[in-house]
Amino acid sequence: MALARGAENTMHPPSHISIGCSRAAVSRSSRSSSSSHALAPALEEERQPLLSLSAPLPDMDSHDAMLQKSGKDRRPSSIVITDDADAVRLAELGYTQVLSRKFSVWSLLGVGFSLTNSWFGLSAAMVTGINSGGTALIIYGVIIVACVSDSVIDKYHVFAAYQVINAFAAIFNCYGRTLPWTASFTLYVSLISFFVILVTVPSVTPAHKPASFVFATFINNTGWNQSGIAFIVGLINTNWPFCCLDCATHLSEEVPRPERNIPIAICGTVAIGFVTAWFFAVAMFFSLYGDFEQLVSTPTGVPILALFYSALTGRSAQVAGAIVLESLILATGLGCQIASHTWQSRLLWSFARDGGVPGSKYLAVTSEKLDVPLRAHLVSCALVAMVGSLYLGSYTAFNSMVTATIVLLYISYAVPIYSLLFVRGRNNIRHGPFWLGKIGMVANVVVLCWTVFTLVMYSFPYTMPVAPENMNYVSAVYFAVSVIVAADWIFRGRKEYGHV
């Protein structure tokens, strides 16, 4: 039972009720002149399924309504009655349930894997890996990270496609009740596309590369004299398909038994991602007909499309076949984009509900009709559109932003882990069903070490010698983010969290 203190305050009655109790408890307490005294013995006598009641009292003002609609109501006079054990645990943290728990483990896995989509990410960022290590980098880089046309394509073509896809994914995420179905569907699309490509390409290529080429070819076209540095710089290629693993955690209020189902979804995302990405890389490099130069210098700017085209050499439908295979990649990418919007909207909404971003009161409100944090979703889509404008100005700056998002995600993981290890202590928290004991501590330390490693090594220039057009400006992104966060804290955040 979750009973907040101060419920007896008659000067300012609670705006909503939030207690987890049994049917017997409610019936008995209703016959008692003092419900707070009747609840305790009643609960001891009989424990039955929880009732559901969450209604505003008559004196709720507009501010109270805003708090309830956003799910953030931490006043000590608040009590909740609910038949949802997950909502009771949420109430214990000071929140009310505002989004329905409609995601199953499979649909949650659909969102998580559709966002990471490791084999798709590997195909989309192949050039970096080829130049910074070749087959060896991509084949073994997947293992490392899993453990931790004839026309010229101009910038405005890419920018326009970027904005169209952004708008397309935004529309899908405006309807919360269909998201679980969409997530499951995109997961099927990804896996079916993977198997079709995995079987088709090796079977149609005129010749296969030897195993020595696939597993032992190291290429250093970066200009770095040290092959080790070239390998590390190229790891960004295999790291990108495994980022955003926290996606499932931001759907915790839309999933039953999140303490169990979210870890399952995360572990499933990593497992499926590793298997699909590694086997995809091996199969594609065995099927390469020609050399890497044709992939790097392809006029389409899409190496995987060039690989499909070369594998179909001698076939009557060479062009059509390559386009069909690439369409499977594009369909998978659309699913990835939809999942990305689902993730980013929940992330912004959860921060807003805690007053962690400017405009929190506005962004924390959810749409009851659509069952989504609509305001946070639309604002996050607008921010994505703005970031896309960087591509028009500087391709290098855009890539630096992409690199920064990977490392900044690691930093966001490292902060609570550091607090868990060195501030609060691992034994001072409630252990969940996936508590790993000492193995978990080792995993925590590995994450901290990997974060420091990527923070330093991913800041290195991609190629040498360094010039303004090939410089890695990720350090500038770190600095800009730090300035923005510091300014937000000084002018707004300390007023919200000044007591911390």
Query: Does pLDDT of 350 surpass 80?
Result: yes
> Does position 402 have pLDDT exceeding 60, yes or no?
yes
pLDDT attached to residue 348? 93
pLDDT class of 35 with cuts at 50, 70, 90 = very low
Same domain, 116 and 85: no
Q: Could you tell me if 475 and 399 lie in one domain?
A: yes
Rounded to an integer, the average pLDDT of 206-225 is 88
Same domain, 127 and 210: yes
Q: In terms of domains, do 75 and 110 share one?
A: no
The CA distances from residue 309 to 151, 154, 209, in Å, are 16, 22, 16
Cα gap 304→192, rounded to integer Å: 18
- Three-state SS across 194-226? HHHHHHHHHHHCCCCCCHHHHHHCCCECCCCCC
Number of independent structural domains in the chain: 3
Do 404 and 312 fall into the same domain? Answer: no
Average pLDDT of 274-292? 89
In this prediction the pTM is 0.69
Position 17 in a domain: no
Q: How confident is the model at residue 87 (pLDDT cuts 50, 70, 90)?
A: low
Phi-psi category of 301—alpha, beta or left, where left has phi over 0 and alpha has psi -120 to 50?
Answer: left
**292-328 pLDDT tens trace:** 888 878 887 788 888 999 999 888 888 889 999 999 9
Residues 345 and 418 in one domain: no
User: What gap in Å lies between CA 95 and CA 418, rounded to an integer?
Assistant: 25
pLDDT at 333: 86
Q: Which helix (H) or strand (E) holds 363?
A: helix 360-363
Q: Which of 92, 122, 144 is the last residue of a domain?
A: 92
User: Looking at the predicted structure, is the pLDDT value of residue 143 above 90?
Assistant: no
Of 404, 401, 396, residue with least CA distance to 454: 404
Would you state the pLDDT for residue 478? 93
**What integer pLDDT is reported at residue 39 of this predicted model?**
36
Q: How would residue 192 be classed by pLDDT, with cut points 50, 70 and 90?
A: very high
Q: What is the pLDDT of residue 259?
A: 84
Query: Is 218 domain-assigned?
Result: yes
In a domain, 7, yes or no: no
pLDDT greater than 80 at residue 142: no
Cα(156)–Cα(62) distance, integer angstroms: 46
Inform me whether the pLDDT recorded for 66 exceeds 80.
no
Dist CA 108 CA 122 (whole Å): 22
Mean pLDDT in residue range 448-462: 91
Considering the chain, what is the average pLDDT of its residues? 75
Joined together, the tokens standing for residue 189 give 């699309």
β-bridge partners, 50: 22
Identify the band that residue 121 occupies on the pLDDT scale cut at 50, 70 and 90: low
User: Does residue 376 form part of some domain?
Assistant: no
Co-location of 88 and 109 in the same domain: no
The per-residue pLDDT for range 456-500, each reduced to its tens digit, is 999 998 888 888 888 889 999 999 999 999 999 999 988 877 655
Q: Which of 45-54, 131-140, 223-232, 259-268 has the lowest mean pLDDT?
A: 45-54
pLDDT, mean of residues 225-247: 82
Instruction: Give residue 325's domain range.
Output: 105-349
pLDDT of residue 18: 35
Confidence check: pLDDT of 118 > 70: no
d(CA 93, CA 75): 11
Q: What are phi and psi of 72, to 5 degrees?
A: -110, 100
Preceding peptide of 206 cis, ω within 30°: no
Shared domain check, 122 and 54: no
Least confident of 34-48, 219-233, 342-356: 34-48
Counting other chains too, the contacts that 267-270 makes at CB distance below 8 Å and 24 or more residues apart are 268/109, 268/112, 268/113, 269/109, 269/112, 269/113, 269/116, 269/245, 270/146, 270/242, 270/245
